[in-house]
Amino acid sequence: MTNKLTIARIKKLLAQKPDKEFIDKLGADPRKGAQAQLKSYLRKTAKIKKQRAQFEERFSFEKQFWSEGCAHVAGIDEAGRGPLAGPVVAAAVILPHNFSWVEVNDSKQLSAAKREYLYDKILEESLAVGIGYADNNLIDEINIYQATRSAMRDAVTALKLTPQQLIIDAMQIETVIPQLKLIKADARSVSVAAASIVAKVSRDHLMNYYDTLYPAYDFKDNNGYGTAKHLAALSTYGVTPIHRQTFEPIKSNILA
């Protein structure tokens, strides 16, 4: 019986992945404290099981391609299509078949701290990572859609391994490599989710650097989006060399 154990000891044993026999015995423990520990443990294990199942589901596209002989599948995503300043950044990521960081998901669903943590893990464990940039001048020259495609193509080119299949978030690029265009792919493919994290964190780091050059615009907090502080700085100081002159309200102010 577990009622001879202190609650603190039960908590410690539960943290060590106990066997079914211990869980069954704990279920018969009449103490409220013991039952509270058991309920907490069961909630946590159920959450982990659900996360794992969802993670495996997000690996379904990669597993299908692997089974067809495509050992190297690259997920591709971008960050920074909407901001008024800075580049659009794309990333291409080839994950190993045993990649197991279940938290890797659409970067928009993760906190900044979690993205930074997973960014390091992805860089450490990926078979290859490529990053492509399209700066504000290219965006103004060929438009944001084409600039995004250009950055994605450059990210694939930057990979040290040549992928046999691409999975891309809602885009298609110019390449001879077979590509699967998926809507909301960053929430449906682990490889694309990994690319979304790498692209987002890489761009955030770059905008933090730009914040040191142009501190009035608050780039470290808004990443180039048109927040009130950013728009106020534009009104007071004008555009910087990294602003997109074809984006509103910048375009109208320049032409006025």
Strand partners, 182: 169
Report how far apart, in Å, the C-alpha atoms of 145 and of each of 80, 82, 246 are: 11, 11, 13
DSSP code at position 243 = B
The answer to whether the annotation marks 169 as part of a ligand binding site is yes
CB 190 within 8 A of CB 75: yes
User: What are the Cα distances from residue 55, in Å, to 49, 52, 188, 190?
Assistant: 10, 5, 9, 7
Q: Is 77 annotated as a binding residue?
A: yes
- The residue whose two tokens read 């450490």 is 124
Concatenated DSSP letters of 104-122: ---GGGS-HHHHHHHHHHH
Residue 72 in 3-state DSSP? coil
Rounded-to-integer distance, Cα 226 and Cα 172, Å: 28
C-alpha span between 52 and 239 (Å, rounded): 47
- 3 state SS of 31: coil
Angle, to 10 degrees, between the axis of helix 32-58 and the axis of helix 190-213? 90
The total of other beta-carbon atoms located within 10 Å of residue 204's CB is 22
Contact 201, 116 (CB under 8 A): yes
Q: Which residues are annotated as a binding site?
A: 77-78, 169
Q: Which residues are annotated as a binding site for a divalent metal cation?
A: 77-78, 169
